[in-house]
Structure 1
Amino acid sequence: MTMTGDEECVFPAEDGLFADTFSEDSMYKFIGQELKISQVFGANLGVAAPVWDAALHLCRYFEEQSFELRGKRIIELGAGTGIVGILAARLGAHVTLTDLPLAVDQLQSNVSANAPPSGWPSGDPPAVLPLSWGQDQRRFPSDWWDVVLGADIVYLSETYPLLLETLAHLCEKSGAVAYLSSKMRREHGTPGFYEDCLPRRFLVELVARDAKQNINIYKASLRREH
């Protein structure tokens, strides 16, 4: 994996942090795919603006595991810049990118910027749709997905029950497997989500850990009631 730009993004969520809106383009390469990702700062995007290290770790995990993405039906939650889902789409997956409405324009811009010259392998570009956890996840089918993705989406404890509800719905009938990559921030209760909250509904397995950057990747499958 090669990249330009800052590897470590530290971006507080305070409104008005930047007086002016500006964008920063970075190039990344995973699994033979070169991605140009724009990050729009100062547009009230907050934590949706940067490419977070946990997203890069998830891309690298797929690369190192030779993970087969072609043909998979994938939905990404809290996609932000969309780098993980766009990589999957470039490799032949059918992808839906979701985030709060304010992030949709940035997502759509990055999808357009990364369209392969010969067209998307699946035949269609990634769909970009708003999704507020715990509110409108039922607009999305529960019997369609193969994989649910999330990178650095576990950082606000008040959203954890909503995220759990959304994950359970998306995996309910499809048997989809979730791959969640997180910076393990104790001050935000991130470890508690994976140790206490997620296991209530899911079988949870730690599949990768970067101790230096304190980033874990988990695989989660919905528990089946007998």
Structure 2
Amino acid sequence: MSTRVTTVKDFCFGSHAVCVQEELTKIGEDDSALGLGYYVWPSAIVLASFLADNTSLVLGKRVLELGAGTSLPGLLAVKLGAAHVTLTDKSELDLSNARQSIELNGLDASLFSLRPLLWGDDFTDQVDILVAADCFYNPGDFEDVVATMACILERNPGCAVITTYQLRSIYYTIQPSLTRWRLQAREIPHKSNEIDTDNVFLLQISRED
């Protein structure tokens, strides 16, 4: 038997406040058995902080967020002046949390599109910047996430791809997938005073020179 626990968390990035809905699924009586797909991971905070410090990346731009979950970076992008933000996740059901967070922030729903997108699939709309927080969670998904990034970069040569991931094992790396898809990654220094982010990496991914 599972129990859903919903909470609202507030985050502040400079003069911009964002509230998001978290939903934890407790499985049985064991508190350690939690479904955490709608939890704000450190990677999302690092990515949102970077966008807040580099507003020109999203100002007036078409933004795509992969694996949106709680959608913290995507919500902030609209507050930073993005022209349009597309939030994607694996299914319509997975996007219900994002809908709630849009309403919680009183944001104009017309500035958002919410669309199912399976990793590994192509995305044909025009994109100026792709953001993805902690999509490299499961090593079994690495190849599919990189494939989608590669397809979007192929269709949108000027697109910026900014992603964060939390290193959970030294035995897994996205480099082989990047090499196969002829992509390269550049690490971007980052800082956050609120959380421990020593094992969170901020990367810009681009096509090989």
TM-score by length of 2: 0.83
Residue in structure 2 matching 1:33, options 16, 31, 35: 16
Identity of aligned residues (%): 25
Match of 1:163 in 2: 145
SS in 2 for 1:40: strand
Q: Check if 1:107 corresponds to 2:94.
A: no
**Distance in 2, Cα, partners of 1:215 & 1:155:** 12
Q: Structure 1 residues 188, 33: closer, same or farther in 2, change over 3 A?
A: farther
SS in 2 for 1:198: helix
Aligned residues of 1:86 and 1:126 also touching (Cα < 8 A): no
Q: Check if 1:60 corresponds to 2:20.
A: no
- RMSD after superposition: 2.3
Match of 1:75 in 2: 64
| Letter of the structure 1 residue corresponding to residue 135 of structure 2 | I
**Distance in 1, Cα, partners of 2:99 & 2:71:** 9
Instruction: String of CA shifts for 1:51-98, please: whole Å, max 9, x gaps.
Output: 111100111122234544211111010110001001001222111000
**Distance in 2, Cα, partners of 1:183 & 1:36:** 22
SS in 1 for 2:46: helix
SS in 2 for 1:47: strand
Q: Give the total of aligned pairs.
A: 195
**Distance in 1, Cα, partners of 2:17 & 2:100:** 16
Which gives a bigger RCO, structure 1 or 2 (Cα 8 Å, sep 6+)? Answer: 2
Q: Compute the displacement of 1:130 (Å).
A: 1.0
The structure richer in strand per residue is: 2
Flag structure 2 segments of 5+ consecutive residues without an equivalent: 28-33
**Distance in 2, Cα, partners of 1:212 & 1:107:** 24
| Letter of the structure 2 residue corresponding to residue 151 of structure 1 | A
Residue in structure 2 matching 1:152, options 131, 134, 159: 134
TM-score by length of 1: 0.77
Flag structure 1 segments of 5+ consecutive residues without an equivalent: 1-15
Aligned residues of 1:149 and 1:180 also touching (Cα < 8 A): yes
